[in-house]
Structure 1
């Protein structure tokens, strides 16, 4: 091979070209030949490796090899042989120019580091995409771990490149970085926090891709679509995207609705505010009238009988309704709500069903409905809840009760 170092040089000198010019022309010619060889070899090897991978992928059942091709792993690997050829022939091309040879060799060595990082990144992306196809791993923050590894890989590659360019041994160069470690920590503060947070989020199973979360501090209310090292992306129900720092998931409070979606029902918890001045005892005639309501007729029969027996046994003076035991319109309405919910087809009967009275407020007496709809889909859930409260608000008048509402202009019209 050494015979070709000065092949063109000897010819040029023999035809009368100066030695300096002949050396430059000889180097340029060898460089062009080398570039052509490298380009042709790279093209052929890329075609061969890609064709081999494609044929192999078409015959296998797994999609891992298909993902390898998608992430350009064969293409990046194909660059290795042309790079080795270039490194082998550089001393021949720049035989007469040692300073050029040193610069080009360092450049190729730096490119070798970059190529290695490309290959590693392609392999990790392939692994990430493949793991996301597995049902038990598709909701895990795999992106975070890949990003952490690549950060350290790029950092190691960058330090290796600097060590090559400056001719400083790698270990000596690394130890010299101790003096600026505080600066590095400061620069990568968010990355370090995100890394620690992503580990805690994964270990504690706090958030998965696909979870519905509500994070009031950041205005997020929707589904988690991506978990990265530094950020968590939430697609809100209005289709906007909210980006949340990953470490905020462990430093701030948020609501994860996964428990609801994995349960057998979605909670309905809403109150009707009843005007207090409408609450009263029921007379016998009013009770008889309410017996026409089928859902509570048997209840009123049994309850009225028990109350009469109690009052008779205690010789209660019923000239005043206040004396003894009595039914109230609010209490009967509360029982009606309970019966209505228990017969409603969209309410899960195996979960809590309750109509309860809360502490009185300046807006009236809150009568809260606590139940769970069988259908957890948002649109259907809202329809079920609206249907229930439409009915109850309309039913109030049958019990001589009213909903409290603030006065409007029409309230003062004569």
Structure 2
């Protein structure tokens, strides 16, 4: 009865001063609502400060960082909001004693508010779990955001169903049955979300992409490192520092290149060609052979090769008055051997992997001589320096073999 007296104080005060019944009742309701809201605000402020202070004390004493993330994601604050909400729910029957028609609607609104506050608490906990898992080495490259978003979708669905059940006074089962009948529309609305969820699972299970992988996807203009994988999108930070957003399901429906294999291998591939002018290719004369024997990397090769050729020509009575008869060495053949020997002895090239210099099909510009090898250093900047040094040397070495490289002459 004491509670009843407290919540009818304004009503009794006005009645004693001969105010009308209706005026006294409405004024009492307004005063009661205002008073409860003020008390709820004060309680919320006190409880919030107590929970935050308590959480910070615990986080200082513990080595685990999970409680730090709970604080960062406002879990104590969100939890504190539940206390005044429960207080308002408990006092509502006393506030609306004379207005039973308003009481039902107000109680429904409070219940819906409680559902929303509970969802906020769960959300802050899930976000804390996400942030904590990202600090663990085992989860650095996993699409944690996708999994948390899936949980959040289920939580929101449950919350929305509960809210509608409260507002309509229908059972949750009835509402779910209604949703089942509308499944086609729901599937259409959440198509991208469902596709993204399935794609996230496949990407994770098949280990197609990890956070930190360098991927190239020309269709979307992506060429850089994966920085985030969530339910709907994959964010790629390109090397020019722009961000490309790719639908997650595109990773399983479209083609893309993942450079992780290169990063985890023992070398980064160098595959580039020097184009030799066709008219500069010729058989080597004795004077040229003698000169090439002075080049240390091919000296032994040229001497041995010349002996084998002379032996073959002698056995087959080749008429060497014309150079084309019998077997001969060519300047491009010796240069190809020089390139391969140079790569094999280069300190930045991994000799355990493929090292090759090969001739490609002729083009209108000339004969491409391709260098195929793997640098030990896979870091982009160092890789470019290594490749630049190699080709600087080879371009400078070309004239020693009486060869010419192609370059386009533009007539002005």
Please state which band the TM-score falls in when normalised by the shorter chain. over 0.9
| Distance in structure 1 (CA, Å) of the matches to 2:218 and 2:138 | 29
| Distance in structure 1 (CA, Å) of the matches to 2:367 and 2:170 | 80
Give, in angstroms, the shift of residue 280 of structure 1.
1.4
Please name the residue that 1:290 is paired with: 292
Provide TM-score, normalisation by structure 1: 0.96
Contact 1:5 1:95 in 2 (8 A): no
Please name the residue that 2:112 is paired with: 110
Equivalent residues in 2 for 1:204-283 (5 A)?
Answer: 204-283=206-285
Equivalent residues in 2 for 1:67-216 (5 A)?
Answer: 67-216=69-218
Q: Which segments of 5 or more consecutive residues in structure 1 lack a partner in the other structure?
A: none
Deviations 1:266-324 (A, max 9, x none): 11001112222222111222100111112111211222122222222333322222222
Kindly tell me the number of residue pairs found equivalent between the two proteins.
410
Provide TM-score, normalisation by structure 2: 0.96
Deviations 1:113-141 (A, max 9, x none): 11111011101100000000011101111
Q: Which deviates the most, 267-276 or 318-327?
A: 318-327
Please name the residue that 1:375 is paired with: 377
Cα RMSD after superposing both structures: 1.5
**SS across alignment from 1:136:** helix
**SS across alignment from 1:117:** helix
1:316 to 302, 315, 318: 318
Please name the residue that 1:45 is paired with: 47
Give, in angstroms, the shift of residue 394 of structure 1.
1.8
| Distance in structure 2 (CA, Å) of the matches to 1:317 and 1:64 | 87
| Distance in structure 1 (CA, Å) of the matches to 2:7 and 2:120 | 34
Equivalent residues in 2 for 1:322-361 (5 A)?
Answer: 322-361=324-363
Give, in angstroms, the shift of residue 9 of structure 1.
2.0
| Distance in structure 1 (CA, Å) of the matches to 2:171 and 2:24 | 37
| Distance in structure 2 (CA, Å) of the matches to 1:9 and 1:71 | 44
Deviations 1:35-60 (A, max 9, x none): 12211211111111111110010011
Please name the residue that 1:389 is paired with: 391
Deviations 1:188-216 (A, max 9, x none): 11111111111111111111111111111
